A and B are shown apart, each in its own frame.
Chain A
C-alpha cells in the first residue's frame, strides 16, 4: 500500500518564476492538505482540497493556488516566486476533512534563488 507520494523531491527556481508541485494521496484517502515548512518552523497550513474544491485556506497570498483531480491527486502552484518561498512543501492526505489519520508525504524542497 503506497503512502503519500510527492514530486519532485527537490527543485531550484529563480525569483519571478512559477512552480508546480504534485501529490498523490494514500490509497483510500480523499482529502489533500498542503503545508509550507520553513527551516526551524512548524508546518504552515496553505489549503485543503476535498471533492476537487478548495475547502479551507490559511494565510497565504493568491500566488499560491491548487487543484485536486478526480483521482484525488493534487497540485500546488506558486506564481511569481519570492526568495521567502524557499521551504519544504508538504502534502498530507486523510480519509475525510477532520485531520484525523493525516499522513504526510516526504515533501518537495524548493529553493528560490
Chain B
C-alpha cells in the first residue's frame, strides 16, 4: 500500500504527558499537511510543509505543539503537556505541488489523507 500512513492509530494518555505522532506521506509528494478533527466537525488546518520547510502554522497550534519534517519525507507532530482539550483525531495529508515560474504555486487540489491518529487525553 503506497498511501499515507500514520502511527499510532490510537493513543490514550494522561493529562500532562507528551505524545508524538508520525506521518509517512506518499513518497513523491512534496507537500505535507497536519489537520485536527473533533467529533462532528470538519478537519481544521494545523500546519503545512513544502519539502522540509514548515511554511505556515495555524494559531490553533499553540507552543505546546511542534511539527517537523527533517528530511522532507516523514513528519512528526509532538504535543507536550497534553490537555483534555487536545483529544481529537490528528490527520495527515500529502499532495504533489507543481511550481510554475514567477507565479503563486498552483494547488493541485487533491489531498491524500491517512486514516488518522486518534488521541484521548484522560
A binds B: no
Interface residues of A (CB under 8 A from B): none
